[in-house]
Structure 1
């Protein structure tokens, strides 16, 4: 799949070849991904908190949220009010502070239809960090796509569910959403839903989920910055799609405000 970049900047400037060698060759850094519409994004504070926490863990220093916002606004300029944006933080060896690479791409459409997931026994290293070392899940995802699946479902060796390849996954039992408590990334969209589901009469909790338990759930869905999608198949298991729940879930998500960057 061809990737079309509208703009790439490093620390607010067009990158030189010398500036690109480190992020291209050194696989150590972290990022967040945003969908921007009319210069706004959902859960901006959570994105900034994610970058700050990861930067402290990887580089021993915080990352100023105002600086991140300024870098994103500069890269969007006046001609990219709607876009997919990735903010990558990395630290060249000769610098004390992290550099910020901001990539601006065309806006990504929300997922359509139900998703099929191939379970694979793989868990991301340092799973709580949205880091740039994504070879494992990308490899498994490519294999899954060749086999006719939309994405992968990452599990432990015993079938304990963790997360999708680039998504969180939720399991609805008829009264509440169960999010897997295996090592995984705490996604922004997941956090936004967790805060708002109780007001819609739906509980939200974390706990173990196993592949063997799949038939017990009324509905399964995945979530990331692109939006929500029901899951209709995991491996050989065909799953029901609860239309009423899917409608409520969509209403909860669509009510999340868009924050100015």
Structure 2
């Protein structure tokens, strides 16, 4: 059992709330990330459910969705914006932090080239704070000239991207890897609006797919390469995917 520090300084300045800073420094917790437009969010109910579900699992307590709406609304008002990239973090003691940053660009994302790394996130069903491994591999991929890392098992089974979900087009359905992964909100919204299946996806079987794409809270983008396997951008498919996402009615905070 750990005890809370009695005194914390940041850049030589004593923290005004040492208990809060100590909670933030644990590295234990979870979060969700969303795009807000005119005070509205696509899949807001899914974000709130994710936060509550993970809070119950990690801290044994429920998290009131109404409170989270109020905290996000207050942060947006304090920042003087209605369009933003917002993150909601939950820490020990169910301390909630909200960050407000400039919104991601609207519209289709730029084509992505991925390289594979042998790594699966621990407790992948939780959008947790222990993201060093995936961040490490993604930064290494970017330094090597790629756009993203695809996380695979030692046996070549694909799970997800470092900060994305990935789907493949077999000519009939979007195929989402069935390996353990974080089920992103954008993925969940698309999966219910397009013909979709989940099944194992392996490196050895990539050549059997016609196209691929990645999704997260910031964008939906076609994939043009995974290692040495290349994919053409299927404009018709991407148009259907963007249309499906655009059809999602955003919810007011």
Q: Give the alignment partner of residue 103 of structure 1, picking from 99, 106, 109.
A: 99
CA distance in 2, matches of 1:129, 1:116: 26
Map 1:195-206 → 2, pairs under 5 A = 195-197=192-194, 203-206=195-198
CA distance in 1, matches of 2:47, 2:178: 21
Cα deviation, 1:111-169, whole Å, max 9, x if unaligned, reads 63210111000000000000001000000011100110011001111110000111111
Matched, 1:167 2:164: yes
Gap runs ≥5 in structure 1 = 1-14, 93-97, 198-202
Which residue does the alignment assign to 2:151? 154
CA distance in 1, matches of 2:150, 2:225: 11
Which residue does the alignment assign to 2:92? 91
Task: State the secondary structure of the residue aligned to 2:140.
Answer: helix
CA distance in 1, matches of 2:155, 2:17: 45
Matched, 1:209 2:208: no
Matched, 1:81 2:82: yes
Matched, 1:69 2:66: no
Gap runs ≥5 in structure 2 = 1-14
Map 1:120-131 → 2, pairs under 5 A = 120-131=117-128
TM-score using structure 2 length: 0.90
CA distance in 1, matches of 2:17, 2:85: 23
The Cα shift of 1:257 comes to 1.1
- Aligned length in residues: 237
The answer (yes or no) to whether the contact 2:109–2:222 under 8 Å persists in 1 is no
The Cα shift of 1:22 comes to 2.3
Cα deviation, 1:173-225, whole Å, max 9, x if unaligned, reads 0000111111100111111011111xxxxx21111000111111111000111
Aligned CA distance change for structure 1 residues 124 and 214 (closer, same or farther; 3 Å) = same
Which residue does the alignment assign to 1:45? 45
The Cα shift of 1:247 comes to 1.0
CA RMSD of aligned residues (A): 1.4
Aligned CA distance change for structure 1 residues 34 and 16 (closer, same or farther; 3 Å) = farther
Cα deviation, 1:87-112, whole Å, max 9, x if unaligned, reads 000114xxxxx110001111112563
CA distance in 1, matches of 2:20, 2:182: 27
Which residue does the alignment assign to 2:10? none
CA distance in 1, matches of 2:96, 2:170: 41
Map 1:111-126 → 2, pairs under 5 A = 112-126=109-123
Which residue does the alignment assign to 2:138? 141
Which residue does the alignment assign to 2:7? none
CA distance in 1, matches of 2:23, 2:212: 36
Which residue does the alignment assign to 1:31? 31
CA distance in 2, matches of 1:154, 1:259: 32
Task: State the secondary structure of the residue aligned to 2:41.
Answer: strand
Which residue does the alignment assign to 1:11? none
CA distance in 1, matches of 2:66, 2:24: 26
The answer (yes or no) to whether the contact 2:176–2:199 under 8 Å persists in 1 is yes
CA distance in 2, matches of 1:188, 1:22: 30
The Cα shift of 1:17 comes to 5.3
